[in-house]
Every structure is written in C-alpha cells, then in structure tokens.
Amino acid sequence: AQTVTQSQPEMSVQEAETVTLSCTYDTSENNYYLFWYKQPPSRQMILVIRQEAYKQQNATENRFSVNFQKAAKSFSLKISDSQLGDTAMYFCAFMALLPTDKLIFGTGTRLQVFP
Amino acid sequence: GAGVSQSPSNKVTEKGKDVELRCDPISGHTALYWYRQSLGQGLEFLIYFQGNSAPDKSGLPSDRFSAERTGGSVSTLTIQRTQQEDSAVYLCASSPTSSYNEQFFGPGTRLTVL
C-alpha cells in the first residue's frame, strides 16, 4: 500500500523569503503522479503543482517548484518570494493509475507567512 | 465555468440520525470522488465513480456509509446512524476522465455529530 508522509506539521516564513516543505512517499509502482495541494481557511483544495514520475525534470509553476528525487521517494515543495496569501495548509498527494486513480494524502503542513 | 459544488456547507446532527451530503460535479466530468478530512488529519479516500462502471467503494469505513451517483452527474453520500467519530469535512472532487490526473475539489461539507 502507498503511504505519504509530511514530517513538518507547521512551518513559518517571513514575507518575500523562501520556504521548503518536505514530503516522502512509499510505493512499489513505477508510474505515478505526485501533487501539492493548498487548502486555505475557505477549505477549497487548490492544485499548486504536479509531477509525473516518468519525467526527470522538476516541475515549476511561477514561484512554486519541486525537488523530485524518485530513488529517494522524496517530493519537496519550494515556495519562493513568499506572500501573505500563501498562508494555508499544504498537502502532498500521491496517485497511482491502477486500479483507481484515487489520491493518497499526507497529513499536511500548516504554513504561516508573516509580514 | 462553475466549479464543484457541495451542499449543505455545514450540517449538525444528533448521534443516531441519518444524513445525506450532496455533490454537483463540474459539467461533463465523468469521474467523481469522495474524501473525508478529519480534524488534524489528511484526506482519506472514501469512494470513486467513473461513468457507468461499478464504483470503487474500498475506502468506505463501514456499512453505515453509502453513496450513489444518479445519471452520471450528481452524487449523494449517505451516512446512516451517525456516530461522533463521523464528524469531519467531507470533500467531493471531479475530473474529466479517470485517466486525467487533476481532480477539482468542492468546498466540502462540515459534518458535526453531537
């Protein structure tokens, strides 16, 4: 069975600084997807970034980038130039394609951005 | 276009009562998922619908939980004889097909069982 571990329950960062959130996972699958979702107080889950396991190049979306280490089963999220609006819960998630493309989530990291 | 909607936004019920939670997926999305988010926990998969295929119910925690999807669109999650441990946020998500890898989430229903 796949598992996702986020070892940092809470993180804080000053506005404009850079912060890295950690995520490790366990799977025997070779083909899968990894995601970071953001959940602000509104409860709406918002996709931040995704990575296909077969791609060696790390995904980047504006201020958000990942460090994907397939052999180490590590998938960290780096947020550059942090903004107050980045304050939220961040969930790392794993998706294998078979038998069902359900998402398996970590327990989340609460990020607080201070002015 | 409109996103995934869920109703009610909040539901308070007494232990032992039945509740129904509704999800309206994005129009045209064939895949629909239910997840549960308990306090301080990550999201836990409950059930998955894809078109006319038999649903994947492997995540339902007990036989008090059931779900249906009518006409390949709206879905209802029913919890019978609610218990206090059922208190959680129930999130629904949809995606265009089962092979498409992004799921779009609704705002959730917060269920409180007294």
Nearest chain A alpha carbon to B93: A45
- Can you tell me the distance from the alpha carbon of B110 to that of B114, in angstroms, rounded to the nearest whole number? 13
pLDDT of the residue at B98: 60
Residue with the larger pLDDT of the pair A113 and B41: A113
Specify the number of domains making up chain A: 1
Please report whether residue A103 resides in a domain: no
pLDDT of the residue at A103: 92
> What pLDDT digit, counting tens, does each position of B35-67 carry?
999 987 789 999 999 888 889 999 999 999 999
Please report whether residue A114 resides in a domain: no
CATH at A25: 2.60.40.10
Question: How much of chain A is helix, strand and coil, in % rounded to 5?
Answer: 5, 50, 45
- Can you tell me the distance from the alpha carbon of A43 to that of B29, in angstroms, rounded to the nearest whole number? 21
Write down all domains in chain B, each with its CATH number in brackets.
5-108 (2.60.40.10)
CB contact under 8 A, A104 and B45: yes
CB contact under 8 A, A91 and B105: no
Please report whether residue A81 resides in a domain: yes
Q: Give the amino acid at A54.
A: Y
> What pLDDT digit, counting tens, does each position of A12-44 carry?
999 999 999 999 999 998 889 999 999 998 888
Which residue, chain included where needed, has tokens 């995540």? B59
Range of the domain at A80: 3-93
pLDDT at A98 over 90: no
pLDDT of the residue at B89: 96
Which tokens is A51 given? Answer: 């990575």
pLDDT of the residue at B1: 59
What mean pLDDT, rounded, does chain A reach? Answer: 94
- Smallest Cβ–Cβ distance between A42 and the set B45, B58, B107 belongs to B107
- B35 interfaces chain A, CB cutoff of 8 Å: yes
Which tokens is B30 given? Answer: 């064939």
Query: β-pairing, B10-13 with B109-113?
Result: parallel
Please report whether residue A72 resides in a domain: yes
Mean per-residue pLDDT for A88-114? 91
Please report whether residue A106 resides in a domain: no
Please report whether residue A52 resides in a domain: yes
Please report whether residue A100 resides in a domain: no
Which tokens is B74 given? Answer: 């709206």
Mutate to test the interface with B, among A35, A100, A109 (most CBs of B within 10 A): A100
Percent of chain B with pLDDT over 70: 96
What is the per-residue DSSP string for B4-73?
Answer: -EEE-SEEEE-TT--EEEEEEPPTT--EEEEEEE-TT--EEEEEEEETTSPPB-TT--STTEEEEESTTS
